[in-house]
Amino acid sequence: MAWLHRRGRATGKQPIRRRTIAAVAVLLLAGATWITGPGPAAAVPAPSGPHPVARTEAALTAGARTILLSIWYPTTTKPGAAPYIPASSLAAAAQMASKAALWLHTPAAAPAMSATVLPISVDAPVAEGGLLPVVIWSPALGTPRWIASGLLMELASRGYVVVAIDHTGESPAVEVGGRVQVGNPPDAADHAFMQAALDMRVRDTRLVLSQLHTLPVVGARGDLDRMAMAGHSYGGQTAMATMAVEPRIRTSLVLDGPAVWDGVEAAPDTDRPVLLLAMGAMVHASWTATDASIVTLEGAGHYTGTDMPTFGCATDLCGTIDPNRGAAITSAVMAAWLSGHLLGVDAAMPEDPALRWRAG
């Protein structure tokens, strides 16, 4: 969860002047990458699957609400070099990076986020073949859809179409119609806020599910009979809550999140398989009431499965495990689970001394 870690509980209620000054300072820092030349770009691990990867962007509107989507998919186009942050301009990318880095408690990462490129193509043709299984991705509370790009492009390289959702208003910043729209800091201590956020996330996801047939790549090549949902932290709870009301979701994968947030609602009741990959040795108590398959990754931190370790963050956020090893284990566990539940292929779970399987 972006707002809970060992440094304490952030509520988004610090004085407005302090927040404004900090945001401006980080924005200037990030923006400097475009003034002085290429910044200290990070090396997000390249995907290891058999397919090159492409990404395209889409937006869905319901009333006054617009949500932004990134769609990752296999292609036959040779790997290119695409901006890490999907934005219409360098200035917009810098602004989005600065806000996200500030909310993620790593403001110094903003220049790297702005300067990083990925070994993918943009808007390239989809790989030839039949229908492709679909994975819906929901990010953690107060984080953008692109902060797990390494994981999502890895899944795409293995033959999945991945639809990543930005939950507008809760996300640090999104670009709607060429303008950057800044979100409101989440208040994880407020049960009413957390319930409202979960309700909004489920509505967002159900809107996406209802419109999959209209989306680029997914509409033409997505296999809507083979769908999973995955998410990080509160995005994992979003996946479970959505699966409880959406029979089209075959399985859920939770990357270091609770089965249910304290004081929000009971753990969803579902007869379909759920995987929890917990970062570190601790498992949230809410999982004891579920039949989920549970595996822990020792030495990992809450953001190990995202790109944050690549950009550099403290051990209380990203753990002590090597970033590339943590990313490889995370993607291997998720890919093996998806292979079994979407492809019908019994892929062996990765073996690593840091992985510990537990009873649900």
Q: Which two tokens stand for residue 326?
A: 């943590």
Q: Are 104 and 139 in contact (CB under 8 A)?
A: no
| pLDDT of 282 | 86
Q: How far apart are CA 83 and CA 92, in angstroms?
A: 12
| pLDDT of 15 | 36
Residue 127 has phi, psi (to 5 degrees) of -60, 145
Question: Which CATH number fits the domain that encloses residue 60?
Answer: 3.40.50.1820
Beta pairing class for 4-5 and 173-176: unpaired
| pLDDT of 271 | 84
| pLDDT of 56 | 98
| The model's pTM | 0.89
Q: How far apart are CA 237 and CA 13, in angstroms?
A: 25
| pLDDT of 13 | 34
Residues of the chain below pLDDT 70: 1-40, 265-268, 359-360
| pLDDT of 138 | 98
Taking only the tens place, the pLDDT of each residue in 101-152 is 999 999 999 999 999 999 999 999 999 999 999 999 999 999 999 999 999 9
249 forms beta bridges with: 227
Q: Domain of 302? A: 4-358
Q: How far apart are CA 329 and CA 319, in angstroms?
A: 14
Taking only the tens place, the pLDDT of each residue in 276-325 is 999 998 898 888 888 899 999 999 999 999 999 999 999 999 999 999 99
Helix spans in the chain (H): 16-36, 90-103, 110-115, 149-157, 191-210, 218-221, 234-245, 308-311, 315-318, 323-338
| pLDDT of 314 | 92
| pLDDT of 197 | 94
- Tell the burial category of 111 from Cβ atoms under 10 Å away from its Cβ (0-12, 13-18, 19+): buried
Domain count, the chain: 1
**How many residues can be counted in the chain?**
360
